[in-house]
Amino acid sequence: MMSCITFFGVSPSSCCRRCWQRIMVAFKGVCTKPFWRAVSAEFLATLIFVLLSLGSTISWPASEGSASPVNLVLISLCFGLSIATMVQCFGHISGGHLNPAVTVAMVVTRKLSLAKATFYLSAQCLGAIAGAGILYLVTPSSVRGGLGVTMVNSNITVGHALVVETVITFELIFTVFATCDPKRTDQNGSAGLAIGLSVAIGHFFAVSLIHFITLFSSLNCPGLTVYWVAPLLGGVLAAALYEYLFCPNPVTKKPRGETLSKDASGKYQEVESPKSQPEDLAVKPGSCAEKGRNQGEFRDSHAEVQSSV
| Per-residue confidence (pLDDT) for residue 222, from 0 to 100 | 57
**pTM across the whole model:** 0.73
Under DSSP, the state recorded for 113 is -
Over the stretch 259-273, which tens digit does the pLDDT of each residue have?
444 556 555 444 444
Classified as helix, coil or strand, 48 is helix
| Per-residue confidence (pLDDT) for residue 265, from 0 to 100 | 58
| Per-residue confidence (pLDDT) for residue 308, from 0 to 100 | 45
Q: Give pLDDT < 70 ranges for the chain.
A: 1-15, 20-29, 62-68, 210-224, 251-309
| Per-residue confidence (pLDDT) for residue 295, from 0 to 100 | 36
| Per-residue confidence (pLDDT) for residue 13, from 0 to 100 | 67
> How many other C-beta atoms can be found within 10 angstroms of the C-beta atom of residue 295?
7
| CA–CA dist 58, 73 (Å, integer) | 13
| CA–CA dist 259, 28 (Å, integer) | 13
| Per-residue confidence (pLDDT) for residue 78, from 0 to 100 | 95
| Per-residue confidence (pLDDT) for residue 154, from 0 to 100 | 74
| Per-residue confidence (pLDDT) for residue 296, from 0 to 100 | 38
